[in-house]
Amino acid sequence: MVGEDQELGGVVDDNDIIEASDDLDVDDEDVEDVEEDDDDDEDEDSDEESDDEEDLSSLEEEGEIAADYIEGLLDIADLDGDIDMDVEGDRAVVSVVGATLDELVGDDGEVLEALQELTRLAVHRKTGSRARLMLDVGGFRSRRRAELAELGRSVAAEVSKTGEPKKLRAMSPFERKIIHDAVALAGLRSESEGEEPNRRVVVFPAG
């Protein structure tokens, strides 16, 4: 061991160790600044987590109010169906499942759209806040989403080939968004024009 200590002593000079220690001196103010920055970051993270929790709690509350409202309507109409609640992104989603309820969907989803607006109003009366919840019945919106995505891709391909804009029939906001997304994925541009309930999507060629 003595030999090893002597060898190390010959390699590392005591003066070098002292100089290295001097180089590693850190100003107390720098340490305090770093600690303050860390505290600020932690506070920001905490605030963001708190906001996320509040948003989630608010959306869950919307879903519960909407579910109660829909359940009451089902009882009045003497219709069967289970109710599922979920949160997707920034909106609550309430689905009536377990039965085919054509009466609550209507032709091309018209009754469903009206029922969704009534449900949103019911939530608004309870919470005082504008609700953006989505209502689905019997999986109609899921099937409709797939159909509209395919329509958007088909129209985009047609417009790319002809180089001419194409105007689609009037659609609900839910339907138009799906078309816009599909067209954007195809690299084309689309816009909505007109007034509700006759607002429609127009697809334009690239460039």
- Could you give the number of structural domains in the chain? 2
pLDDT, average across residues 66-84: 92
Question: For residue 5, is it within any domain?
Answer: no
* CB burial string 77-113: b at 16+ within 10 A, e below: eeeebebebebeeeebbbbbeeeebeebbeeebebbb
61 plus 110 within the same structural domain: yes
Q: Where is the domain boundary, 107, 138, 169?
A: 138
127 plus 29 within the same structural domain: yes
150 plus 89 within the same structural domain: no
Question: For residue 4, is it within any domain?
Answer: no
- pLDDT by residue (tens digit) across 76-110? 988 888 999 999 888 899 999 876 688 889 888 88
- pLDDT by residue (tens digit) across 126-185? 999 999 999 999 999 989 999 999 999 999 999 999 999 999 999 988 899 999 999 999
58 plus 71 within the same structural domain: yes
134 plus 190 within the same structural domain: no
> Does the pLDDT value for residue 69 go beyond 50?
yes
